[in-house]
Chains A and B, each alone.
Chain A
Amino acid sequence: MRVRNSDKVQLVKQTAIELIVKDGLEGFSMNKLAKACNISVATLYIYYKDRDDLILKIAMEEGTVMAEAMIKDFNPDMPFEDGLRRQWLNRYAYIKDKPQINSFFEQLRTSSYQEEFLAGFLTEFKVTMSKFMHNIIDRGEIEVMPFEVYWSIAFSPLYNLIRFDNEGKSMGGKPFKLTDEMLWQAFELVVKALKK
């Protein structure tokens, strides 16, 4: 009999994310992970079939947590500005809580895991987000535009400010710390840009 220690499972997940963010998917192995967690490789293989299984399971679990965090107190029928503000609040709070997660998903996004990770996954979350955009277009709150254009204007400024903040510097290495004032100033400008 072995004991399933949920603290250990949590440690494995957290360490795997840290290693993937630090060394990339190429440099990530079960052996390295076991060493970093101070557990035996066999323990890892009890929980996970192989390296792919581990990466995908962690990605699915983290993706579900992310989707829940992002749709908290949000519904697709909200008026444009309220809905977008809620999205900014949720996304900002989630990334503040899990600063490494964006780099982790970014690693997956540019890898062969992408297809499996995205296929049929987060469907509800994606439907909610797309419903919100269609609702605000139908109500004439914003112009008709492709989803990609909407997303880029609505969220890229937020993610870019967060990236500067995470790195502690902006263009040309200039020291940078994101304040609430800057965040909401950017939000107001985004609203202005999108609102009809």
Chain B
Amino acid sequence: MNTIENFDHILLFKTNVNCDADKLLLHTVLDANPDIQCWNVDLDDEDCVLRIVSYTISHPQIIELMNNHGYYCCELT
């Protein structure tokens, strides 16, 4: 059975955020952003997937934000 659901608010990225120190820094960058409902990064994964829930932000905005802080970041497809 298929149900159509809108998952456009879940934004997924491949990153190089791979340690707790990086994650801590991400907290300072992402926690304060009112457009981000919640986020998490999977440090166990080889793609270091960053998962962001936001109804307003777009992929390029996050990529730019991450790049500005020196992180590699591209959309996970």
A interface list, Cβ under 8 A from B: 1-7, 29-31, 40-42, 45-46, 49-52
Cβ-defined contact, B44 with A29, below 8 A: yes
Cβ-defined contact, B49 with A30, below 8 A: yes
The residue on B at minimum CB distance from A8 is B2
Q: How far is the CA of A42 from the CA of B8 in the complex (A)?
A: 12
User: Which residues of chain B have C-beta atoms less than 8 A from A3's C-beta?
Assistant: 2-5
Cβ-defined contact, B42 with A30, below 8 A: yes
User: Which residues of chain A have C-beta atoms less than 8 A from B3's C-beta?
Assistant: 3-4, 6
Q: How far is the CA of A117 from the CA of B46 in the complex (A)?
A: 25
Q: Which residues in window 5-46 of B have CB below 8 A to A?
A: 5-8, 10, 12, 40-42, 44-46
A50-B4 in contact given A29-B45, A42-B12, A42-B76 (Cβ < 8 Å): no
- Residue from the list B1, B7, B49 in contact with A50, Cβ < 8 A: B49
Nearest-CB distance from B12 to chain A (Å)?
Answer: 5
Q: How far is the CA of A42 from the CA of B76 in the complex (A)?
A: 6
Cβ-defined contact, B1 with A46, below 8 A: no
Cβ-defined contact, B47 with A31, below 8 A: yes
Beyond A2-B5, A4-B5, A31-B46, 20 additional pairs, beta carbon < 8 A: A1-B4, A1-B6, A1-B8, A2-B6, A3-B2, A3-B3, A29-B46, A30-B44, A30-B47, A41-B47, A41-B49, A42-B76, A45-B12, A45-B42, A49-B42, A50-B42, A50-B44, A50-B45, A50-B49, A52-B44
